[in-house]
Amino acid sequence: MTTLFSTVQMGSLTLGNRMAMAPMTRNRAPGGTPTPLMAEYYQQRASAGLIITEGAQISEQGVGYPATPGIYNEEQIAGWKAVTDAVHAKGGHIFVQLWHCGRVSHPDFHQGEAPVAPSAIQPEGQAFTYEGLKDFITPRALELEEIDGIIEQYRHAAACAVQAGFDGVEIHSANGYLLDQFLRDGSNSRTDAYGGSIENRARLLLEVTTAVCNEIGADKVGVRISPINAFNDMQDSDPQALFNHVATALSALKPAFLHVVEVSMTGATDSSVDMQQIKQHFDGLYIANGGYDKKRGNTVIADDDADIVAYGIPYLANPDLPERFMQDAALNDADQATFYGGDEHGYTDYPILETI
């Protein structure tokens, strides 16, 4: 029987188990450059079948939070190279998540300029800035002639990821960030080729994915979506139809995986969207994410409802999560006060099982 501990083939990679470490923002990259502490953090978690890093912005324009890493210049490439070398030294596999925050950024990150978005629609909520929480502002709608530049940012970031030694990239099209903003009609009111119909709203994601696949190879590319997540003031009038279309259209590009956040940011589910429909529309590996424990993870794998299960907070607090699951060992509790920013406390100092 296939379980979380079974191997799985992802392109040219043989993953040692079906447990992925989900991307989690940690705000420990001052100046946008990965640090040696980050290398230690990811190396500790190298027993995951696949690590997907925290979001790494694809350009200065993509920045939306303090002390988050980038993947677009030489200094960042060098910083990430230390991370990938550390993970590979322990036999792990690691993808970097490509991130553009879009409208949920703030002028504080852009020399006073408004963040960009598909449409000039102000989201409810607040941005995390270096000076604390500040209300989101009305973003600037991207001009049609700027779209090619956005696609180029993703392509360039993917090329940088290969230089940094990553095994691949995940395109972040979830949780209310730029590509998700284009997908959903609550944030996209454009009347050109990138707005209106589902096909038009999905166009940018597909063009980005095509460019990235052409740059580094489709088997090194995954995409993350979040069909029911309302985080960052997101909504859509027909999410089932939208994300069924996204899954079908992505299949034609043959990326390695589709990573689906099946819950809201609070962990709530929503029966209005059938995630298995989305899976059935995608011809590739399906990564399920959303509050899974060992039992539920093994169940969805055995039932062929997912190929891989991504774990977030459990990996944050348990660097050796696969070993703990295998031994049915107790899990460390996560310290929420240290999730975002800080030093090694709550980052690299969680206890690891004693060697048996």
Q: What are the pLDDT digits (tens) for 252-265?
A: 999 999 999 998 76
Q: What residues are annotated to the active site?
A: 177
**Number of CB atoms found within 10 A of residue 148's CB:** 11
Q: Rounded mean pLDDT of the chain?
A: 96
- Using left for φ > 0, alpha for ψ between -120 and 50, and beta otherwise, residue 202 falls in alpha
Continuous H helices in the chain? 36-44, 74-89, 147-163, 178-183, 198-201, 203-216, 239-251, 275-280, 294-302, 313-317, 321-327
Mean pLDDT in residue range 277-287: 98
The predicted-structure confidence for 80-136, as pLDDT tens digits, reads as follows 999 999 999 999 999 999 999 999 999 999 999 999 999 999 999 999 999 999 999
- Using left for φ > 0, alpha for ψ between -120 and 50, and beta otherwise, residue 196 falls in left
Rounded to two decimals, what is the model's pTM?
Answer: 0.97
Please tell me the CATH superfamily of domain 8-338, with its number: Aldolase class I (3.20.20.70)
**Number of CB atoms found within 10 A of residue 87's CB:** 24
Exposed / middle / buried, residue 13 (Cβ in 10 Å: 0-12, 13-18, 19+): middle
- Cα–Cα distance between 50 and 11 in angstroms, integer? 13
